Amino acid sequence: MKNIDSLFQQTHDEYVRTRYIAKLHNHCLMNVRFKVRDAYETSVKPKFEKKNGRSPETGHEISKAIEKNLFYRTYSSVRYNAQEMLSQSKQPAVARQLPEMIKVVRKVANENPAGGTLKTDPNLEIPKYITAQDVHLIPGGYHSEFTEDDVAQGFLLGARHGGPPINPGRDFGSVGNSVSAWLKHAYPDFTPANILDMGTQGGSNLMTYKVAYPDVGLYGIDIAAPSLRYGHAKAEMAGVKMHLSQQNAEKVDFEDETFDLVVTSFFFHEIAVPASKRILKEAYRVLKPGGLMVNLELPPHKSCEPFLNFMFDWDTRHNNEPNYRNYRSQDPIALMTEAGFPESETFERIVPEVATYPKDKLADVWDDKVEPPLHGRGGWYIYGSRKA
């Protein structure tokens, strides 16, 4: 049986275009955005202080003050267009091979060689906070389907194309490795029997928990059927038994106290605040007593100085993520306690990205002997709690 990723074949020009755009996008995201601070410190901030008699106190104030700065406008334009073009550059190759990809998906779904399962729901109502815009400027967003058993959007979102990763330090598939490494350190006696990944997309993070906990049962839900089909094919071909189902995390079909561990990765900032609160309550409901919920997310406003808040919230206005700023304005600890978790068991911290952080320094970071790396620069912000 063909590996579904091997079906992605670009022409020479398509390959070069994808690599160039990916490099450009990464350069903006990981390098140039820090140069925006220079423009802010030397030009925007002094003008604001002269006019207001104080420095900007919030990211929103900086956003208003800097919007006409030429360097910032150039940065935003390049980053926006690179983000939009990245998926567009892959679409021709995906479209050419889509019939073959669908054949593989159907064959895997019929045979299930690893014993996993896939359940989609054509009648599921996709929330308006997902359908109202093409999230991340990806044409069609996460959820769109254009043909029966469509897998195109899942492939665009989940597969690694165009050669080796542009920046191994931002390999979101290794998020599960980083979180599970911290879990094994912080809760050495914790051995989950079943794990639920909410907003799993193709399950790339979910599969990594099998490394830390070989006997764990893997369950993932998402509203996007194309991603679930793609993830199911990947897992079955890799010999990983994973159970994926198309569900809205605001109301899932699992029984009370089903899971020992519930995880999310870059999930909550994509959805409306009222929905996020309902989802946390659902997570609490399906957790067993003593079970853990761990969310890897963007750090909240309270944890960042104004300029960093401004840069994180760029996506609110420019990347079709309208819930970004509102989500980050909340206190994650308060969110957990409101959902029912005991405050005494809640936590938030930065954990190192284990794929890039020096292994001989990990023990020091776990014990807070040294300053942890910044979120997105060798580390990840997590928060969560343990059910009483």
> Domain locations in the chain?
4-114, 168-386
Q: Residue 37 gets which letter from DSSP?
A: H
For domain 168-386, give the CATH number. 3.40.50.150
Q: At what angle do helices 225-237 and 70-111 cross, to 10 degrees?
A: 60
Q: pLDDT in tens for each of the 388 residues of the chain? A: 668 888 888 999 999 999 999 999 999 988 898 899 999 999 999 999 999 999 999 999 999 999 999 999 999 999 999 999 999 999 999 999 999 999 999 999 999 999 999 999 999 999 999 999 899 899 999 899 999 999 999 988 876 544 433 333 334 457 899 999 999 999 999 999 999 999 999 999 999 999 999 999 999 999 999 999 999 999 999 999 999 999 999 999 999 999 999 999 999 999 999 999 999 999 999 999 999 999 999 999 999 999 999 999 999 989 999 999 999 999 999 999 999 999 999 999 999 888 888 778 787 888 777 777 888 778 899 999 999 9
Q: How far apart are CA 219 and CA 233, in angstroms?
A: 15
- Residue at token pair 């390049």: 78
Burial pattern 123-154, b for ≥16 Cβ within 10 A else e, equals eeebbebbeeeebbbbebbbbbbeeeebbbbb
Q: Are 121 and 246 in contact (CB under 8 A)?
A: yes
Whole-prediction pTM value?
0.93
Helix, strand, coil tally for the chain in percent (to 5): 55, 15, 35
Query: CA separation (Å) from 121 to 16, 222, 228, 283?
Result: 38, 11, 11, 21
